């Protein structure tokens, strides 16, 4: 009988420890999830430069972290996205101009091509080469649309 009471006592201690470890595990997982959610919401509140890619086949938005008062060169932002292949882009660069030739496999043709707009104003390759500064407050769209070309170059 004494042995039975002893094993009963050991069983309670083991169950208590198991329950304690289980509660600690649940609290720990809850803490980790809460920290994860806080860090995600913190990131989303930081100012970001948004670039929208639009075509008939796809629509994609890319966000680049930036401070509210900082402006960045649009061509450098596009080159960085191209380097990361997010989205996959191909440029043509001359001493005078820059042109986006392809985005995610959608290439320019004689009648359509990728056109850059900043705050609803078309930005040509010469302006991009000279430098176009953008900030989180700017609306940036890169659209695949009908274009007229003279000697292979799009005309404004």
User: Which comes out higher in pLDDT, residue 144 or 80?
Assistant: 144
CA dihedral 28, 33, 37, 38 (to 10 degrees): 0
Longest dimension (CA), the chain: 103
| Residue 42: per-residue pLDDT | 46
In 3D space, the residue among 102, 119, 124, 98 whose CA is nearest the CA of residue 55 turns out to be: 102
| Residue 97: per-residue pLDDT | 83
* Angstrom distance (rounded) from CA 88 to CA 82: 6
Q: What is the pTM of this model?
A: 0.66
Q: pLDDT-derived band of residue 28, with 50, 70 and 90 as boundaries?
A: low
Residue 144 structure tokens: 């695949």
User: Which comes out higher in pLDDT, residue 123 or 4?
Assistant: 123
- Tally of CA atoms within 13 A in the half-sphere of 126 that contains its CB: 5
Give mean pLDDT, residues 32-37. Answer: 66
Give mean pLDDT, residues 95-122. Answer: 90
Residues 36-69: tens digit of each pLDDT: 655 444 445 678 999 999 999 889 999 988 887 7
| Residue 54: per-residue pLDDT | 94
């Amino acid at each position: 009988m004494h042995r039975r009471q002893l094993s009963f006592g050991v069983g309670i201690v083991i169950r208590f420890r198991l329950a304690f470890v289980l509660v600690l595990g649940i609290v720990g997982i809850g803490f980790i999830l809460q920290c994860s959610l806080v860090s995600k919401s913190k990131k989303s509140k930081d100012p970001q430069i948004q670039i929208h890619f639009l075509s008939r086949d796809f629509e994609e938005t890319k966000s680049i972290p930036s401070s509210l008062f900082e402006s960045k060169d649009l061509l450098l932002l596009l080159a960085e996205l191209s380097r990361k292949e997010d989205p996959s882009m191909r440029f043509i660069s001359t001493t005078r101009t820059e042109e986006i030739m392809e985005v995610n496999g959608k290439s320019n043709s004689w009648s359509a091509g990728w056109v850059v707009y900043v705050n609803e104003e078309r930005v040509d390759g010469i302006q991009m080469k000279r430098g176009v500064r953008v900030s989180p407050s700017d609306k940036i769209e890169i659209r695949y649309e009908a274009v007229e070309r003279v000697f292979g170059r799009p005309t404004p």
